[in-house]
Structure 1
Amino acid sequence: MFDLVGVPEALRLSASRYWEQFEQNRIKQELPALDSVLANRISLAEFNTQLTRAFAASEFIGKTCAIHPSFLIELVESGILFEPLGDEALLPFEAAIDACTNDADLDKTLRQFRNKAMIRIIWRDLNRCANMQTITGELSRFADAAIQFTANYHYRQLEKMYGMPIGRESGVAQPLLVLGMGKLGARELNVSSDIDLIFTYPESGNTNHESRVLSNQEFFTKLGQKLINSLDKVTADGFVFRVDMRLRPHGQSGALVLNFAGMEDYYQTQGRDWERYAMIKARTVAAAQGTLKDDDYVKRERKYLRTMLRPFTYRQYIDFSAIESLREMKGLIARQVQRKGMNLDVKLGEGGIREVEFVVQVFQLIRGGRDAHLRKRQVMVLLPILEQENYLPKGAGAALSEAYEFLRNTEHAIQGYQDRQTQALPTDELGQLRLAWAMGFENWDAFIAVLNNYRQRVNHEFKAVIADPENKEEVNSTALDIWQGMWDASVQSGAISVEDARALLHGEQLDNPEDLIKLLHDLRENRSVVNMQASSRSRLDDFVPRLLLMISEHAEQGELMVSFVETFKRIVPLVESIVRRSAYLVLLIENPIALHQLVKLCAASPMISEQIAKYPALLDELLTPVNLYFTADDDHQKIKSDLQDELRREVLRLEWEDLEGHMEVLRYFRSAHSLRVAAGEVSETLPLMKVSDYLTFIAEAILEHVLRLAWEHMVAKHGRPLRADGTAELEPNFVIVGYGKLGGIELGHGSDLDLVFIHNADTTLSTEGLAEGKGIIDNLTFYARLGQRIIFILNTQTASGKLYEVDMRLRPSGNSGMLVSTLAAFERYQHKEAWTWEHQALVRARVVAGSAELATQFDQVRLAILHQQRDLPKLRQEVRDMRLKMRDQLGSEKGKRSNIFNLKQDAGGIVDIEFMVQYAALAWAYQAPKIVQYTDNIRILGSLEEAGLLDATSVAQLIAAYKAYRSIGHRLALQQQEAVLAGENLFDTEREQVSHIWQQLIEAE
């Protein structure tokens, strides 16, 4: 039965001794043999392999089973030694605790179940019956159960003595909520871990005993003390879990238990950075109640506790200041390791478990307030996410996961030997052999080589994330010192000579050195800078020289599109806007790559620099250049679905009634993606057509969400609109139609949205209303208000700006018409009242959000209007008259200046091309329906050529001119310049070609 083949000779003696003692005591206690209770759950040979490995590698298993052979026989006979831990496996544990009649009985029962649980856990871990995550998860579940069952037991006992603790405000029996911190909170307990706990309860008040009344504080303090004693005390049967309460508010000097109000006050006013670090893993592991259970109340209070603690843990902005605290904490640990000679510690030593955890928690603290994905607790869950989201380099997440699992398995093998809380590698030969063999290696040298390789990999990634900025990439310290001196001297105007400034600016990049001196002085004297706190001022003093050095290095390399001084001038407003939020300064200090991107983009476009200055949260986008400078994707559906998915993830944490929260997310979403598009355009990774595609699809994703948001608001207020059959509309019977650039998939930077709203509800009916018939309004009013709500969300000015400017003048009857039309009314108007220019606009109209069924019906109406045969001379005259009127009012030719060209409005420009396309579509769609299938000018022109209605040369010239005009227009927009060219090279050839085609198509009689 007990075959030591394969076990190293040096390990056999102790294993054999424990096995002999096990058999002697089993026989003495008249217990069945192991093979008789195995019941074919696994083969006898496999069981023997597992048994000998467990006895040889774990003195705890061997000794405990030798003294208590019934523990192992019970585990084998029940089958739970060979199976994952199901919920039913903990039922006997709960029943045994409930049956206890006194504290001594409780203590004995707890420890017996604990020892059986540890035999099972260590056995399965050593034999790799489950992976590391399963092992730590199952041990954490057992700890949760032990805390819960024990707390319930003591609650009931105290309730008999003092009554039930009642909340002063709610009048409800109060629960004790136990927060598990650290590895328990993350469900990552190791095989000999202590448990870090915090005790809290919702409300102050008193117990309801007739004579022996206690305050709730006293009651729960007694309960906490008893719970700790039952778990932590060492008896003849051992202990359950070592309990550490030092993470509670005020630490060891603080009250053992605080109510929610006390917790909230502490974390809002006194919580320290390391407590934020600890709170990342906090989880309510138990909620003890007495005889009057109210699970719904407890559920609400648990949720409230989570909500209350989240703002302390996760900042709403990108918080790089957290990295300083983590760096300091790691420094303290490193000094402790050196002082105590703990370099062989696989947890705290260099490249150990703690460094992997620090890498993960750095990103959680920095970004968790904005990215809900990062609020998970488990390291092995988060590492793939960090790599997937490009927070870690490609391959780094997988490498750290592999290393972490190996390190944790090593930790378990060390601890599982004697059930001791240690992570120190053994220094004696026998201990080293045992550990190497337990980890699957033939000898220590083979094991330590692999371990050291993993530790080096971990330390490399750790340093890349948390090392000081100077160590992350080479910094020209001499040049940095010079810029530091220049910044320090800027406190007095004139303290720097023009000659010194010119020397620093490498001559050829210097345009006006006195301007730089003035900019530095003005920044130094800015009111926000003067009033900065000392810590923030220190960060600014650290940042500005780095910024100047970064600009000078890239100016010297010829990478800036404008001069050094102009680049710095564009960045100054950003610096002034973030000095009060110095976490952003830390972000740029900590990330030279982000600082480089800032310099590069601001030098390329004043529009980008202004956008970042207005919304500094966009600095986060600079941290991942892979995402910032994305390339073109030809799959339009994928582009749009990716945007929809990202926006959906961003709003997951928000309730529909949180209108302000949704509006803020939408504004950041638009700003961030617009910045990415602009960066792609200035870096020439996105061609013109793709720029418009992305900007259009960003708007569509936002409009879809805005429609849903407005719909949910209206439904919550009035109920759903009713149909003729008496059922309620589950989805909005409503579409948003995009006209102009939005409809034509040609949005530019800063374009407004030309929209028309259409619904198809029965206007004779009303909404279903709310409870007691409140809130009922007719369907027409419902959809009119839905439209108003959409415009409000899009148009409202917030601290983050407007989402979009909205133009509704293209709706039927323009500004005097109904805000929202029925489809039937829209169709009647288009047939009977619409002007020719409104039919021209309809050429570029398409549904961008809303009901798919109604969108199909709209398309049918649109095509029916466009497919009508028209009086061509009349059509030509009306198109020509409208165009000439626009040219006179908006073009530059009124002043007869031949050296100026308005790209959009002058003859031969963009609008001429658009009018010719619209004329051709209206003139010939009746004979070639496919030419109005699309709404963008390029594809309509292609369709006209395909139908033989325009010759290939004319089409090619119009497309080339149209693209060239729009390309230079986009470039001017990025430079915040009007779409007007002056001087030479004014597209003479293109204008002549467009005007020639205009004469042939529009002016010809």
Structure 2
Amino acid sequence: MTSQRQSALDRLTANAPFLARLAELNPGDVTRFLADGTDAALAQIDSPAVDDNIMAALRHWRGQVALLLALGDLSGEHDVAATTRHLSDFADAACDAALAAAFAERVPDEEPRGLSVIALGKLGSHELNYSSDIDPILIFDPETLPRRARDDPDEAAVRIARRMVEILSARTAEGHVLRVDLRLRPHPEVTPIVLPVNAAISYYESQALAWEQAAFIRSRASAGDRALGQHFLGAIQPFIWRRSLDFRQLKEIGAMSDRIRDHFSQGQALGPGYDLKRGRGGIREIEFFAQVHQLIYGGREPALRAPATVDALAALASAGRIDSDVAARLADHYALLRRIEHRLQMVEDQQTHSLPVQTAALDGVARLDGLADGAALLALLEPVVADVGSCYDRLVAERAAPSGALPRDEDELAPQLAAAGFDPPAAALRTIAEWRGGKLRALRSSAAVEALETVLPELVRALGAAPDPDAALTRFDKLVAGLPSAVNFFHLLAANPALARIATRILSLAPTLADALAVRVDLIEGLIDAHAFDAPATRDALFVEWAPGLAGLDYEQLLDRVRDRVGERRFAYGVQLIAGSTDPLDVARGYADLAEAALQLLADATVAEFRAAHGVVPDSELVILALGRLGGCALTHASDLDLIYLFTGDHLADSDGARPLGASTYYNRLAQRVTAALSVPTAAGKLYDVDTRLRPQGAQGPLVVTLDSFERYQREEAWTWEHMALLRARPVYGSDEARTEVERIIGEVLARPRDPNSVGRDAAEMRAKMAAHKPPKGPLDVKGGPGGLVDLEFAMQFVQLTRGQGHDPHLGTALTVLVEAGLAPRTIPQAHDLLTRMLVMLRLTAPDGEPATAAARRLVAEACGQSDWTQLLAAHDAARQEVGNWWASIRPDDMEKEREK
């Protein structure tokens, strides 16, 4: 290690005049470095006192730090990440010292507060260069900033900020500390150098530009009043990380790189004079590569919001947003490019990024890095620059709009439309002419028309490939007609051509999803996320995913946010079905987990709100029991939620809040609010319909009863059909202890001996009433028709109650138990799976029982494992025959005939 340190010192002395001068001025630091290493030497440096000598002291300190960090870098004791972290920490401390000195000069008896340094760029991400500017935004709080008695707060803040900048930037005989560039603040040509915090928040919430959004990816409160800075950054998080993407902004951000390439054209090609920062394949392109992906996905995935470039690449790879090999290569390339950039800046403390043009100077930089000459340095950089440039070019190509605009002349356009699938093309010609003419409100601006022309070629191809192109075009036209502006929607489709094809498939095959998209067109943005086609998430996974975005919201905001999240996920699950990427049985389970997650979150929030007003009932809690398809963990896209509300403890107790209530009143009102939280439409739309008619005594009984009352009712008063419903009951809300108690009650009620004849007669009577009240909608009513899912469940429930086996709310699990016990035909599980898959698919493709289109029939058949619609109908008939036979075998009249034999 000693030889490496000496080699670093020798190379520094021979090739970096600025650092060589610092070595002469600080021999003690050099001696400690050679003997003990970089970190030990750094530990011996004292930060300067805030006094009248602050300017000279800071400059001397900076010289010591620059020397030792250069030696640590050249010797290999620090890698690039450690070096830039140390430089950033020094800059933070220097800003704090300069700000403290500025306050001390103006208000000597006050502690520095009320003014914050918001670091952007490389300082914001702890990646500062040796000779980089720092690019802060300065904000102040007029209410807390110390000032002289007659000072205007704005004027006092400007004076303190100006003095801080002078202490850091003024060049004296000892040099400077940091160059401070304040031009990243809003409208720098007219605004003061330090901004009131509320005015800054207002600007970024309403007026900020695309490049400013990208700049704040790498931002932090780095010095001064950090609490103030963190408050400011917290307030503008929705501006930085937008869930609703603006692809015009992404285009602008990408165009920044193109402008840089054009403006610095002399430094684009690798060779002497190459610009390591702005050249093709340089540092900026790696940073933009990471930032564009962060802007696309970071609004929905907080884990991707890492400020540092290498950390961001790793996070993007971990989340599956970019290829892991690309991330690893770019991280290595970034470290090499930054290392050589540091070598350039070590030579004379210049803020340069370009390789020297002169051969001797280029050789000197190479030797400083330990290479033989400039040719070796260029050879080292050549594959790196080529790879970075290639990765960035692919990113630009992916984000670029399709080329090949459609002609405006109808004689030229008609054959193209016919070739795309609109044959005859008359209707499509008319609709496109209306779009171009601004007939629709969403297409009356020049920006909207420009966006339309950008996406139109891909849109025509996608719509023309639909099973019924004219019908798909009509639905798309209706969708656009409902938008206040189509600009961002068209830019979204242009930037992601696959979305145009998905949107067309939705419009052609799934009326339920098409209706949802017409209400919330931003739902389609969630499909950009590759994880939108992952297996449906579990309830616990949803909690983890949603938690960061729900923290700190008030009750009304939470209601809206949960509706947004559920709507997005439910839409994505529906698209998975339309895309044929996921088994309908898995999606049914996903729908149930989604509903349960929403119920848990909203019930928790409602309980907390209610307790704030009325306190708690001692030794008591709300318990929610799910029945029906939610109880069985198999919902469809539009299923309602069958719930029973219960509470533990003494019904005569009172709550202990400022406005106490008796327990029964307390829980009835609380349950009403939970139902409202789940079902009442808000600005974000509707969530779920809630059906509570399965509670004790049905709609005539109280909404909530105690566990004791529930147990007594189930033992003494409940009808057979209520116990049949109880076979799919599952507690979904409440403590573990309360859930266990509910499960005990249900288990004991279901396990009691029963007369098969009595149960059979009751079941048959109930089924007949259901058929009379709600007759089948048609031959494809797979739920209510003869041999459908209702008959299957009635047959199951008869066997479960009379034989005391298979008491599991999940139908598939219960059927397996019954088959293995010889209590159900071996063909019934397959029949159940087929009918359930059909139910899930038909709820999307033919939600009102209308005949499915030919294309939808193919889709449903494939989702059910059949080659075509004819095969599906044959399998469907066979399954219903099996179910019908099983149900018929246990009806009372058939059992009586069997006994007579």
**Structure 1 length-normalised TM:** 0.81
Equivalent residue for 2:820? Answer: 946
Which of 57, 69, 92 aligns to 1:121? It is: 69
Equivalent residue for 1:506? Answer: 419
Q: Name the SS for the 1:876 alignment partner.
A: helix
- 1:347-386 to structure 2, matched below 5 A, reads 347-386=277-316
1:978 aligns with 2:867: no
Distance 1:981 1:315 in 2: 41
1:807 positional shift: 0.8
1:244 positional shift: 1.1
Most deviating of 666-675 and 757-766: 757-766
Equivalent residue for 1:746? Answer: 634
Q: Would the aligned equivalents of 2:268 and 2:279 in 1 still touch at CA under 8 Å? A: no
Query: Aligned AA for 1:328?
Result: A
Equivalent residue for 1:726? Answer: none
CA distance 1:709–1:156, change in 2 (3 Å)? same
Q: Would the aligned equivalents of 1:469 and 1:592 in 2 still touch at CA under 8 Å? A: no
1:764 positional shift: 4.4
Equivalent residue for 2:577? Answer: 681
1:648 aligns with 2:587: no
Most deviating of 672-681 and 236-245: 672-681
1:233 aligns with 2:170: yes
CA distance 1:741–1:110, change in 2 (3 Å)? same
Q: Would the aligned equivalents of 2:340 and 2:369 in 1 still touch at CA under 8 Å? A: yes
1:820 aligns with 2:709: no
Unmatched tracts of structure 2, length 5 or more: 853-868, 897-901
- 1:388-403 to structure 2, matched below 5 A, reads 388-403=318-333
- 1:499-538 to structure 2, matched below 5 A, reads 501=414, 504-506=417-419, 509-510=421-422, 513-521=425-433, 523=435, 528-529=440-441, 532-538=444-450
Equivalent residue for 1:1004? Answer: 895
CA distance 1:279–1:980, change in 2 (3 Å)? closer
1:668 aligns with 2:564: yes
1:525 positional shift: 6.5
Distance 1:85 1:874 in 2: 88
Which of 179, 182, 198 aligns to 1:245? It is: 182
Distance 2:768 2:3 in 1: 95
1:442 positional shift: 5.0
CA distance 1:832–1:233, change in 2 (3 Å)? same
1:377 positional shift: 1.9
1:46 positional shift: 5.3
Which of 419, 432, 437 aligns to 2:349? It is: 419
Q: Name the SS for the 2:419 alignment partner.
A: coil
1:108 positional shift: 1.0
Q: Would the aligned equivalents of 1:319 and 1:365 in 2 still touch at CA under 8 Å? A: no
CA distance 1:747–1:335, change in 2 (3 Å)? same
Query: Aligned AA for 1:884?
Result: A
1:838 positional shift: 0.6
Q: Name the SS for the 1:505 alignment partner.
A: helix
Equivalent residue for 1:14? Answer: none
Which of 795, 802, 825 aligns to 1:923? It is: 802
Equivalent residue for 1:324? Answer: 251
Which of 953, 956, 965 aligns to 2:835? It is: 965
Q: Would the aligned equivalents of 1:735 and 1:854 in 2 still touch at CA under 8 Å? A: yes
CA distance 1:1001–1:442, change in 2 (3 Å)? farther
Q: Would the aligned equivalents of 2:115 and 2:145 in 1 still touch at CA under 8 Å? A: no
CA distance 1:579–1:401, change in 2 (3 Å)? farther
Equivalent residue for 1:40? Answer: none
Q: Would the aligned equivalents of 2:12 and 2:368 in 1 still touch at CA under 8 Å? A: no
Which of 771, 790, 796 aligns to 2:674? It is: 790
Distance 1:97 1:886 in 2: 86
1:420 positional shift: 1.8
Q: Deviations over 1:27-71 (max 9, x none)?
A: xxxxxxxxxxxxxxxx64554345435445543332211133234
1:622 positional shift: 2.5
Q: Would the aligned equivalents of 1:53 and 1:127 in 2 still touch at CA under 8 Å? A: no
1:246 positional shift: 1.4
Which of 886, 894, 902 aligns to 2:781? It is: 902
Q: Deviations over 1:676-730 (max 9, x none)?
A: 322332333322322222222222222222222223323444444433xxxxx8x
Query: Aligned AA for 2:570?
Result: S
How many residues align? The count is 872
Which of 447, 453, 459 aligns to 1:541? It is: 453
Distance 1:608 1:798 in 2: 20
1:615 positional shift: 1.9
1:349 positional shift: 0.3
Q: Deviations over 1:504-559 (max 9, x none)?
A: 3238x44664433444355556765367332233212322343113333xx2xxxx
Q: Would the aligned equivalents of 1:718 and 1:767 in 2 still touch at CA under 8 Å? A: yes
> Cα RMSD between the aligned structures?
3.2
1:280 positional shift: 3.0
1:203 aligns with 2:142: yes
Distance 2:136 2:336 in 1: 27
Q: Would the aligned equivalents of 1:512 and 1:565 in 2 still touch at CA under 8 Å? A: no
Which of 79, 85, 105 aligns to 1:157? It is: 105
1:355 positional shift: 0.9
Distance 1:764 1:421 in 2: 77
CA distance 1:977–1:209, change in 2 (3 Å)? closer
CA distance 1:270–1:746, change in 2 (3 Å)? closer
Which of 457, 466, 490 aligns to 1:585? It is: 490
CA distance 1:430–1:849, change in 2 (3 Å)? farther
Distance 1:409 1:595 in 2: 43
1:630 aligns with 2:542: no
CA distance 1:520–1:150, change in 2 (3 Å)? same
Q: Name the SS for the 1:594 alignment partner.
A: helix
1:318 positional shift: 1.5
Q: Name the SS for the 1:284 alignment partner.
A: strand
Equivalent residue for 1:993? Answer: 882
Which of 603, 612, 615 aligns to 1:707? It is: 603
Q: Name the SS for the 1:738 alignment partner.
A: strand
Equivalent residue for 1:169? Answer: none
CA distance 1:84–1:580, change in 2 (3 Å)? farther
Q: Name the SS for the 2:218 alignment partner.
A: coil
Q: Name the SS for the 1:61 alignment partner.
A: helix
Q: Name the SS for the 1:421 alignment partner.
A: coil
Equivalent residue for 1:193? Answer: 132
Query: Aligned AA for 1:947?
Result: A
Query: Aligned AA for 1:907?
Result: P
Q: Name the SS for the 1:193 alignment partner.
A: coil
1:847 positional shift: 1.9
- 1:96-175 to structure 2, matched below 5 A, reads 96-98=48-50, 100=51, 102=52, 105-160=53-108, 175=114
1:322 positional shift: 1.2
Q: Deviations over 1:944-999 (max 9, x none)?
A: 2222333xxx231x333332322222332221343477999574433333322222
Distance 1:463 1:718 in 2: 61
Q: Name the SS for the 1:251 alignment partner.
A: coil
1:152 positional shift: 0.8
CA distance 1:327–1:836, change in 2 (3 Å)? same
Distance 1:816 1:543 in 2: 57
Distance 1:735 1:521 in 2: 59
CA distance 1:134–1:779, change in 2 (3 Å)? farther
Distance 2:184 2:851 in 1: 66
Which of 821, 826, 844 aligns to 2:728? It is: 844
Query: Aligned AA for 1:1004?
Result: M
Distance 1:206 1:410 in 2: 43
1:347 positional shift: 0.5
Distance 1:413 1:208 in 2: 44
Distance 1:176 1:742 in 2: 54
Query: Aligned AA for 2:552?
Result: E
Q: Name the SS for the 2:237 alignment partner.
A: helix
CA distance 1:817–1:453, change in 2 (3 Å)? farther
CA distance 1:939–1:416, change in 2 (3 Å)? same
- 1:814-893 to structure 2, matched below 5 A, reads 814-892=698-776
**Structure 2 length-normalised TM:** 0.89
Q: Name the SS for the 2:822 alignment partner.
A: coil
1:766 positional shift: 4.2
Q: Would the aligned equivalents of 2:125 and 2:307 in 1 still touch at CA under 8 Å? A: yes
Query: Aligned AA for 2:126?
Result: R
